[in-house]
Structure 1
Amino acid sequence: MNYNFLWLPVFNALPELARAALVTLEVSVVSMVIGLGLGLLLCFARRSDRRLARWPASVWVEVARNTPVLFQIFVFYWGLGEFGLFLSSYVAVVSALAFNTAGYMAETFRGGFAAVPETQLKAARSLGMSFIQANARIVVPQVIRAVWYPMTNQFVWVILMSSLGMLAGLRELSGETQYFNSRTFRTFEFFFAAAVIYYLIAKLVMLGARIIGWRLFRGQPL
């Protein structure tokens, strides 16, 4: 093995890689927030007695969960252009990740709602709360507690899947790594550094989620 490791270009590029890592986090956070909101709406729609609400939500969930994320990014970035709707790489990647996250979180939320006894909702309604108030104040907080760690895992998954954004021209961490690789041809060094950064981000997110979960649900079984 005659390969000579050369780490100086990586150290020189660390500021740019750090900025790209922030783009990765930004894309992931925005996608996750939108995905959580849409996932909750899809969950309610799938639990509805109305077919007009249930069927479109079911189609969304099935497509999101059973097609590759890369395919979804391509649809948002290139596919919509066939219909005259051109999205920037940033918006396309965020839209695709949010679309995918909503599908997965809809099923996660559905499991969370199933874990909360229906008597909780009935008791809240009997005390004079409206349906929305009962869900917002009584049911949803218990659902959040039940899905906290699956939701954290989903966020880590979104962070890792955001790396596919490089194929749509997004200069996030993987895109920036590929850019420097094409200029220096130090493939192993740059992608090893990127892998370490992804690993650290994922571990920090998991640690932060554990701390927040402990603070929010202290004394309550998770």
Structure 2
Amino acid sequence: MFNYSFRWNQAFASLPQMLEGAWVTIQIALLSMAIGITIAILLTVFRRSGNKLLSGVASTWVEVARNTPALFQIYMVHFGLGGFGIHLSPYLSLLIGIAFNNAGYLAENFRGALKAIPETQTRAARSLGMSQGQAFTNVVMPQMLRISFLPITNQMVWAILMTSLGAVVAMNTDLFGVTKALTDRTFRTFEYFAIAAVIFYVITKVITVSARLLAARLFRY
């Protein structure tokens, strides 16, 4: 017989703590995206370089990031590196793990975006006296990032959700970690995780709606 007694007042009293955790979640996601985009651009350059070693490194990164679980990647950063005497904090392990995953997916998105950019644009830039690197930086890369804008937004949403995987490395300051700690103390699992789910939903919805509005404003032509 269903006899669960809801205690929403108790759960809502802890909302400030959960919002602090949400801010940590957003910080990790933003940092992991900044790192991931930077590395993804480098991986894209490596794959186009013609150098077999650099191309091999980039392809391996993308294959591992896209074809192994994100949970495994975070676990390996925290516990795998620990086996070699490299001990990272849960925060740093989670950040590196998500950034690694972001870089792999974004590099593949960038590769697809490059296919939509005519090669004639690079040749035109070269004819104006630009080097290969200048042509890529000043002509190709801005268009690549523009085409990849919405996929980048999707990856940002995924990064927000991936922060919950920090539980496997005892991360306890993000939204999921704070929520789990509260449920462990109070045994009010449904109330706390229902609130956390709403917070996650609001964060991701704000990101997607803001991205669409920004895209409509920036890419009108």
TM-score, normalising length: structure 2:
0.96
What's the CA shift string for 1:73-116, capped at 9, x where partnerless?
Answer: 11111110110111011111000001111111110000011110
Cα distance in 2, alignment partners of residues 70 and 112 from structure 1: 27
Amino acid at match of 1:174: F
Aligned-residue offset at 1:47: 2.3
What's the counterpart of residue 181 of structure 1? Answer: 183
**Aligned-pair distance for 1:199?**
0.3
Distance in 2 of aligned mates of 1:53 and 1:79: 24
Match of 2:193 in 1: 191
What is aligned with 1:209? 211
What is the CA–CA distance in structure 1 between the aligned matches of 2:11 and 2:177, rounded to whole Å?
Answer: 15
Deviations 1:159-209 (A, max 9, x none): 001111122121210010000000111101100000000000000001111
Q: CA deviation at 1:140?
A: 1.2
Letter in 1 for 2:219: F
Question: Gaps spanning 5+ residues in structure 2: where?
Answer: none
What letter matches 2:216 in structure 1? W
- Report the TM-score when normalising by structure 1: 0.96
Give the Cα separation in 1 of the matches to 2:50 and 2:20: 47
2:83 maps to 1:91: no
The structural deviation recorded for 1:117 is 0.3
**Contact in 2 for aligned 1:101/1:154 (Cα 8 Å):** yes
Q: Which residue of 1 aligns with 2:9?
A: 8
Q: What is the count of residue pairs matched by the alignment?
A: 219
For residue 22 of structure 1, what is the aligned residue in structure 2? Answer: 23
| Matching residue's letter, 2:166 | G
Structure 2 residue 79 is matched with structure 1 residue 74: no
